[in-house]
């Protein structure tokens, strides 16, 4: 397995693909959430993840897929991701997809702070400025002074859980590999949800609902696979700005599914977020070329 940071362009491309999948997942979740119980929806989503990952990787890797050096961390990542999914499911019932994603975009700032403090990653002053610019762009989208709702407290749980499982992803892809991490997350979450499934199952679903559930499962599986592959190729601090692009994808999904158009302030906020991602990437590339001149790490 490649050491994180050796293929940064691949990592960036995979991260963009991941957030596009997450935006598709959130859009479909908002549509399906009114009729589908949360336990049933998430059970199918994680079951598909475990089944597809096993079907693809078990024939090639055999028992090696099941070997983990950090079993407790694998379980912790799965629980954090599951809790994130639960918070997102209920948040999307009361918030537009774009606004929900904007609140969740606080995750990169939390991750950058945690990465600097816990993982020892170098984050220069210039890249801190770009990260804060992305955060400011998210606040422009949210505009808490005029539109803050009590329901926005729900995505804060998603922020904390997202930051936790994404930081654990960076650790586990180095220890066990992307495939093993992806497989264990699907298995652990499926087992936990299976205990509650008999109390939440309903057969009164339309073909549309089943199609949405299938789409949610595929989008979630693909998105998290891309995420772990991205972190296996590039460090957290480099990939962090690209998480903000999920806001743009979410707004696109809101427009396509609900004819919801963002206003001028929202568009400005997204532009600031995208610019911060590009600026952070350029700054990181220059620091790799001139390591001796990089600004002191935090």
pLDDT in tens, 201-213: 888 888 888 898 8
pLDDT in tens, 244-270: 788 888 888 888 888 887 788 878 887
Residue 236 has what pLDDT? 72
User: Which among 9-23, 85-99, 193-207, 213-227 has the top mean pLDDT?
Assistant: 9-23
Q: What pTM was estimated for this model as a whole?
A: 0.75
Tokens of 277: 């991602």
- Quick one: which of 40, 34, 33, 29 has its CA closest to 199? 40
Could you give the angle at the alpha carbon of 96 between the alpha carbons of 83 and 158, nearest 5°? 20
Checking if the pLDDT of 294 tops 70, the result is no
Query: Mean pLDDT over residues 157-183, rounded?
Result: 86
pLDDT band of residue 293 (cuts 50, 70, 90) is very low
Supply the mean pLDDT for the chain: 82
Query: Mean pLDDT over residues 74-92, rounded?
Result: 92
Residue with tokens 């190729």: 233
pLDDT in tens, 46-63: 998 899 889 988 898 888
Whether residue 13 contacts residue 241, with contact meaning beta carbons closer than 8 Å, is answered with no
User: Which among 18-32, 140-154, 163-177 has the top mean pLDDT?
Assistant: 18-32
Checking if the pLDDT of 109 tops 80, the result is no
Cβ neighbours of residue 259 closer than 8 Å, sequence gap 6 or more: none
pLDDT band of residue 71 (cuts 50, 70, 90) is very high
């Amino acid at each position: 397995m490649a050491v994180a940071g050796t293929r940064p362009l691949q990592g960036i491309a995979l991260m963009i693909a991941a957030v596009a999948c997450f935006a598709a997942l959130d859009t479909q979740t908002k549509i399906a959430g009114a009729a589908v119980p949360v336990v049933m929806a998430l059970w199918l989503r994680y079951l598909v993840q475990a089944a597809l990952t096993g079907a693809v990787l078990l024939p090639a890797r055999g028992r090696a897929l099941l070997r983990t050096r950090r079993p407790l961390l694998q379980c912790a990542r799965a629980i954090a991701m599951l809790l994130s999914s639960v918070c997102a499911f209920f948040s999307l019932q009361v918030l537009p997809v774009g606004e929900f994603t904007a609140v969740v975009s606080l995750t990169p700032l939390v991750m950058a702070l945690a990465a600097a403090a816990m993982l020892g990653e170098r984050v220069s002053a210039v890249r801190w400025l770009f990260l804060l610019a992305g955060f400011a762009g998210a606040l422009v989208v949210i505009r808490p002074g005029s539109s803050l709702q009590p329901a926005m407290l729900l995505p804060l749980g998603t922020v904390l859980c997202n930051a936790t499982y994404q930081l654990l992803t960076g650790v586990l892809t180095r220890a066990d590999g992307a495939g093993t991490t992806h497989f264990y997350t699907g298995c652990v979450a499926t087992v936990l949800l299976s205990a509650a499934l008999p109390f939440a199952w309903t057969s009164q679903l339309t073909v549309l609902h089943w199609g949405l559930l299938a789409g949610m499962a595929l989008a979630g599986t693909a998105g998290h696979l891309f995420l772990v592959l991205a972190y296996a190729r590039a460090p957290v601090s480099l990939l962090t700005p690209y998480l903000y692009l999920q806001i743009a994808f979410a707004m696109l999904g809101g427009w396509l599914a609900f004819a919801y158009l963002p206003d001028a302030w929202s568009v400005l906020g997204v532009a600031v977020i995208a610019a911060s991602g590009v600026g952070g990437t350029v700054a990181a590339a220059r620091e790799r070329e001139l390591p001796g001149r990089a600004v002191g790490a935090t």
